[in-house]
Amino acid sequence: MSSPGPGPVAERRAVFLDRDGVLVVDRDWLTRPDEVSVLPGVPGALLALASAGFVLVVVSNQAVVARGLVDENGIRAIHEHLDRELVRLGGVAPSTYYFCPHHPSATVPEYRTACDCRKPRPGLLLRAASELGIDLGRSYLVGDRMTDVAAGWRAGCRTILVLSGRHLAPPFETPDPPDPDLRPDWEAEDLPAATRIILGDAHPHHEPR
């Protein structure tokens, strides 16, 4: 998660992607590379987005670190394995990954904090925008929970909710949960469907903000 250089100009468009339930099967506690299972259609969708000029940025809450189930290097190893799998399956690897290892009730004391990077707070997206020169107003957030949508909305992105089943789950523990009246700009069955929305500039199911 290194910066390409100081002071980039905010010109680039990005698609911010939640990891579990959007790119890979959501296993609740994914702690090893061999547990990674890429969802159908994801490699082709990422290739299409990258070919259209979008920066692909994964933004993910990883409370497994806060719970002591894996360390931050273990998360990076999972992401390196995911990169290899996506390329092997004919896709492209994301440009970079940003993940939050914190949790308000963390088992590991050093990660027990109400940080600004745990979604629904927008810290991961804001950091990526600053470091990578991303124009948030021309970018998209694709996630399968309303906490993802809230983070994207708070950062100023257009938002797509993937209807994975997790979209019905209660929000993550957070000091400032999403507004119950918040709605995504679009809904999609999966990442390939979300990609078609992004590339085709389709009309949203919900009225845009």
DSSP string, 50-119: HHTT-EEEEEEE-HHHHTTSS-HHHHHHHHHHHHHHHHHTT----SEEEEE--BTT-SSGGGBS--SSST
| pLDDT, tens digit, 9 for 90 and up, residues 46-105 | 999 999 999 999 999 999 999 999 999 999 999 999 999 999 999 999 999 999 999 998
Q: What domain count does the chain have?
A: 1
Look at residue 201 in the predicted model and tell me its pLDDT.
Answer: 61
pLDDT the model gives residue 68:
95
pLDDT of residue 198: 97
202 band by pLDDT with thresholds 50, 70 and 90: very low
Q: Which carries the bigger pLDDT value, residue 170 or residue 73?
A: 73
pLDDT > 50? residue 5:
no
70, part of any domain: yes
Residue ranges making up the domain that contains 154: 17-200
Confidence of residue 111 (pLDDT cuts 50, 70, 90): very high
pLDDT of 3 above 80: no
5, part of any domain: no
29 located within any domain: yes
Calculate the alpha carbon distances from 123 to 24, 117, 118 in Å. 23, 4, 7
In sequence order, the 6+-apart residues with CB closer than 8 A to the CB of 186 are: 158, 159, 160, 161, 194, 197, 202, 204, 205, 206
Looking up residue 27, the CATH number of its domain turns out to be 3.40.50.1000
For the segment 151-167, the average pLDDT, to the nearest whole number, is 92
Mean residue pLDDT of the chain comes to 90
Which one is predicted more confidently, 10 or 117? 117
Least confident range of 74-78, 118-122, 174-178: 174-178
> In the prediction, which pLDDT does 177 show?
77
**Is 207 a member of any domain?**
no
7 in a structural domain: no
pTM: 0.88
